[in-house]
């Protein structure tokens, strides 16, 4: 019975109806962007398992790599928690050696996912 009151409210307030229709109309484009983001993240996760699996426990399998790449996409302390782990430290000299593939890999992933997430907003 109370549900019908809400339906009558939608009929009376045209601005609320317009807002509700706009929200319903935006569901499909947002889901398309999320689907594309999942595909891109899966592709980068597969590459990350191949490149960084032996170096880091964050990329040992696909599910762990997906979670880590999601962390990178959201910007959740990925520079200190994910990228710095991939720097090789020489145990003899304590010198940090930079892995040539990590910077282009993470920068390209961040740019691509940033563009996709900007399309959602």
What's the confidence (pLDDT) of residue 87? Answer: 67
pLDDT of residue 45: 96
The H or E element containing residue 8 is helix 2-12
Whole-number pLDDT of residue 92: 62
Q: Average pLDDT across each block of 10 residues of the chain; the chain has 121 residues. List them in order.
A: 71 78 89 94 95 85 93 82 68 65 88 89 72
Q: Spell out the residues 6+ positions from residue 47 whose beta carbon is closer than 8 angstroms to its own.
A: 105
**What pLDDT score does 48 carry?**
93
Give the per-residue pLDDT at 36. Answer: 94
Task: Write the secondary structure of 27-76 as one string of H (helix), E (strand) and C (coil).
Answer: HHHHHHHHHHHHHHHHHHHHHHHHHHCCCCHHHCCHHHHHHHHHHHHHCC
């Amino acid at each position: 019975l109370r549900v019908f009151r809400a339906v009558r409210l939608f009929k009376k307030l045209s601005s609320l109806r317009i807002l509700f229709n706009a929200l319903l109309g935006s569901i499909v484009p947002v889901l398309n962007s999320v689907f594309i983001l999942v595909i891109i993240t899966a592709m980068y996760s597969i590459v990350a398992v191949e490149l960084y699996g032996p170096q880091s426990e964050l990329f040992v399998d696909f599910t762990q790599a997906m979670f880590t790449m999601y962390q990178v996409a959201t910007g959740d302390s990925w520079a200190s928690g994910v990228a710095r782990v991939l720097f090789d430290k020489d145990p003899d000299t304590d010198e940090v050696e930079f892995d040539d593939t990590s910077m282009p890999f993470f920068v390209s992933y961040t740019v691509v996912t940033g563009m996709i997430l900007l399309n959602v907003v």
